Structure 1
């Protein structure tokens, strides 16, 4: 073959190879390189039959979108109202969604296909939220609407991506057990809209989920409801739903174990009002040391005798038995403990006028004060005492004269502390100083209540910059509340409308039809400056009922 004959063959081969690359490149849907990220969900270009078609008789619905898309959790996200006996078949053809109806539709009925979060684009997963396709087998389409918003009771902020559900009154008992047929999700501003509704009686609920199954099946999920029935005869607007976390009706242990250090460790699904523990072995029960967390939803039990094969533990609330569990161990099990200490200092600074409080991670049986060396600057301090807390074997107070402008050091030498298991502490060192008085301020809140007759209670809470409660005061009359010697920083004020006058916030209960106690948050952030006294007027607005 001559060189002139080889050239056409080579040219044909090259062109063919390029054509194959182009063909396969076009066949793969890939994210475009460069440019801003696509944040737009698929857009409906055409529906066949048209959306809101009346006298519908078709068996196939085709929805054409402007880009390639995927379907997520089809039979979980997509609902049809009213229900159909046989679910449709959903398939994707290029940029179109094909819906094949498998059931005969009722006459003169409006059907709403709610796609939830099922439709998302291929490249970025942008979700087309709350897309609906509506049809009617009769001459008219149901057109009533309910609009409103969902607010978190604790933060008083509107919440997005909350599922708002509507149940016909004759199906109200299915709440929390079955997926709703009529629902929507709140937008980024916390607002919602339920459209194409039929006149009738309804109950409305909202659910902020951990898992998106539209069923209330997790104690951590937030819920909302309206106590009254909605008699829908015309459009309903400005429906306000208040989200709250319920207290589970039944105590349940989330975690139970014997830790590597030998303590019995339990976490409950709810706090106990007046917790108690009973161990069925009398000898172990008489020697047990129980430590509940401040929130009363965690218990740690320390047993000096760890030779048992199994231990049976009952938990009580107000002396009423709630649950009993058994923990087992092997005779070969061994435990390792290292005594550690915590202190009531912040960045090694102690609040002026307070004693140093020392907390151990294990109950301490004995303390040897002769093994403690304390210094003020470089001078040894000998006139100090370690005082036990009568309520806790883990807590102690250092009693001595502490002065501002001085640096203190503590050396707890080997064997200073011996725990109930006879473990001795290693060398532990601590340095601290008394903070300057000018780093603290006084805040006076001049509170004006909507009802100062003394018949209603209000709980005024001071929050830090992380919205954690620092101090609360119950008031029922107008007047000042003084918060003395608080560190410089930013603070906020929250007020609870204490309806049952128990001095704390109470959540709601759907089963008992009880709404949570209302909360009002002062919108202004209050800065406390160095060595400064701040006065702030707090005018509490009248309570807005939550029916």
Structure 2
């Protein structure tokens, strides 16, 4: 007796017992409510032709289950390998699922059909996970396997929406205009596995799955293996490092090619990055403009201090490459009031817009007591890879520091809770660089997360030892790892 038969028999027995106890005089016999919930996925009772059939020559496969089933995006979830030019057609009726093959099958080839998470029961939605049907048009099954992992190079994390591909064509352009021979999904650990592969030479890639299985958007995630994969000779898993090129935003333009203004735009729009009106002692001051600047006249910006408006010296202005960020560099003094007096025409954007009238920005610098001192000593840090220590808050980069030794000390550090990563800065430019595939091939620089959070307290000497190779943090429910400061002093 299977599990569902047991549930039915139990329910019937409870009804009979209830009727016996209440007797014939009862007006209504109410069937028992609730009971054990069905948590089991559908069970395959029969498939025609049978799984693992040799000399397969059919165009239809029927799967019969032990209960009524439903299909969830079967056309999208199904993976047939080798990939056909036309996806099989999948239908269901009651407890039967039918797959109709629409392509001519190749001779002496091992095929597999993986249904992902598309098969589930009707009542509770229990999923029959990753069921795979295998057949061969020849007299044997190919049995080689290839496994590995895909890691996001910029963060050291994973992306479960990536698809891994095997191509036969060695040309770089194959990933641009041809479907792959085989594909595999990435699981929730970033791992993948190909099964039932034949001997031969393949080329391994990973892309952001958008249905076409081609790499047409350089701003989308992409990864490639440095060398070909020779099945039958290749040993061990493969690690791919995915990257994407920076996104470019094309401005909306009018017929003249100038940026098209929004309706009602009349004045120059700008903002600053001050937090609570306070200037960080360690950072530059920035003015951020909504539209690129055509002209920026620093002689019409008056930088002064305190209520006497004393003109300051020793500062400099610069514009970034987008001409949308003007940066003021100055050796800030703690707890000091500053003023920026902007004349009406100090800046003109590409729309010809200026301030409607002069404006003055007032702000003050932070106190030294607002900061903490941070001292870290690293274990298992490879200095030969030009490490750069990166600090993040909610995945936003807050600071980067090249490391010349295993000791890191910063006398002024903003309080807060930080996560850390180590950038292996191959070209020593202090920032992460993506890879390059077309033309000269170059793998992306790698960033490795550190499995420990750092807590910095204000007006406190925060000290810690950090193991770069420490294992991941414990799972939910486990005792938390101790953070910084494990020791410290005012």
TM-score where L is the length of structure 2: 0.68
Q: Which runs of 5+ in 1 are unaligned?
A: 1-33, 259-308, 312-325, 542-547
Match of 1:223 in 2: 222
CA positional deviation for 1:527 = 0.9
Decide whether aligned partners of structure 1 residues 399 and 170 sit closer, same or farther in structure 2, where only a CA change above 3 A counts.
Answer: closer
Shift of residue 488 of structure 1? Answer: 0.6
Shift of 1:489: 0.5
Instruction: State how 1:348-387 maps to structure 2 within 5 Å.
Output: 348-351=277-280, 381-385=307-311
Q: Residues 158-307 of structure 1 correspond to what in structure 2 (within 5 A)?
A: 158-168=158-168, 174-209=174-209, 211-233=210-232, 236-246=235-245, 254-258=249-253
The answer to whether 1:481 aligns with 2:416 is no
Q: Distance in 2 between matches of 1:85 and 1:359?
A: 50
Higher share of residues assigned strand: 1
Conserved in 1, the CA contact under 8 Å of 2:142 and 2:197?
Answer: yes
In 2: Cα distance, 1:188 partner to 1:72 partner: 20
Instruction: Give the alignment partner of residue 389 of structure 2, picking from 449, 461, 471.
Output: 461
Give distance in 1, aligned partners of 2:178 and 2:219: 18
SS at match of 1:464: strand
> Helix, strand or coil: the match of 1:516?
coil
Residue 473 of structure 1: how far off its partner (Å):
3.2
Secondary structure of residue in 2 paired with 1:444: strand
SS at match of 1:220: coil
Partner of 2:96: 96
Residue by residue, what CA displacement relative to the aligned partner does 1:131-175 show, whole Å, maximum 9, x if unpaired? Answer: 432112333222222222222222222332321212235688532
How far is the alpha carbon of 1:403 from its aligned partner? 7.2
Unaligned runs of 5+ in 2: 1-33, 470-490
Any conservation in 2 of the 1:169–1:201 contact (CA below 8 Å)? no
Change (3 A) 1:79 1:431: same
How far apart, CA to CA, are the structure 1 residues paired with 2:353 and 2:90?
68
Determine if contact 1:310/1:328 at 8 Å carries over to the other structure. Answer: no
Following the alignment from structure 2 to structure 1, what is the Cα–Cα distance between the partners of residues 78 and 331?
A: 69
**Do the aligned residues in 1 keep the contact of 2:110 with 2:141 (CA within 8 Å)?**
yes
Q: TM-score, normalised by structure 1?
A: 0.62
Superposition deviation, residue 431 in structure 1: 6.6
Measure, in 1, the Cα distance between the counterparts of 2:347 and 2:430. 38
Cross-structure match for 2:132: 132
Contact 1:116 1:184 in 2 (8 A): no
Give me the whole-angstrom Cα distance separating, in 1, the residues matched to 2:400 and 2:329. 28
Match of 1:441 in 2: 372
Partner of 1:296: none
How do 1:316-465 and structure 2 match up within 5 A?
A: 326-327=257-258, 336-339=265-268, 342-351=271-280, 381-385=307-311, 389-392=316-319, 404=335, 419-420=347-348, 421=352, 423-425=354-356, 434-447=365-378, 456-465=384-393
In the aligned structure 2, how far is the partner of 1:432 from the partner of 1:79? 60
Give the superposition deviation at 1:37: 11
Per-residue deviation at 1:521? 2.6
1:76-155 to 2 correspondences below 5 Å: 78-82=78-82, 88-101=88-101, 105-115=105-115, 130-155=130-155
Quote the offset at 1:339 in angstroms.
4.6
Question: What secondary structure is seen at the aligned counterpart in 2 of 1:256?
Answer: coil
SS in 1 for 2:211: coil
2:71 maps to what in 1?
70
Change (3 A) 1:474 1:195: same
Residue 49 of structure 1 pairs with residue 49 of structure 2: yes
Match of 2:424 in 1: 497
Per-residue CA deviation, residues 423-462 of structure 1 (Å, 9 max, x unaligned), is 554696867555443220122333567665xxx4513223
Match of 1:525 in 2: 453
Cα displacement string for residues 64-102 of structure 1 (whole angstroms, at most 9, x for unaligned residues): 34443236373x654543456776554333332223345
CA distance in 2, matches of 1:81, 1:353: 56
Q: CA deviation at 1:181?
A: 3.7
Report Cα offsets for 1:233-263 as digits up to 9, x if no partner.
2785433222222469xxxx652324xxxxx
Contact 2:155 2:448 in 1 (8 A): no
Mapped pair 1:535 → 2:466: no
Pairwise CA RMSD of aligned residues? 4.7
- Separation in structure 1 between the aligned mates of residue 48 and residue 250 of structure 2, nearest angstrom: 54
Q: Deviations over 1:97-117 (max 9, x none)?
A: 223345554444322224456
1:280 match: none
Contact in 2 for aligned 1:158/1:190 (Cα 8 Å)? yes
Question: Which deviations, in whole Å up to 9, do the C-alpha atoms of 1:454-501 show, x marking residues without a partner?
Answer: xx45132231322333333334x4353332322110223322223334
Q: Distance in 1 between matches of 2:132 and 2:115?
A: 6
Report the Cα distance in structure 1 between the residues aligned to 2:387 and 2:408, rounded to whole angstroms.
11
Shift in alpha-carbon separation, 1:44–1:169, aligned structure 2, 3 A: farther
Q: Distance in 2 between matches of 1:509 and 1:345?
A: 36
Q: Would the alpha carbon gap of residues 123 and 338 (structure 1) be closer, same or farther in structure 2, given more than 3 Å must change?
A: farther
1:461, 1:469 within 8 Å by CA — same for their partners in 2? no
Aligned mates of 2:123, 2:132 — CA distance in 1: 23
Give a deviation string over 1:289-329, Cα, whole Å, max 9, x none: xxxxxxxxxxxxxxxxxxxx964xxxxxxxxxxxxxx4498
Partner secondary structure for residue 391 of structure 1: strand
Q: Is the 8 A contact 2:270 2:288 kept in 1?
A: yes
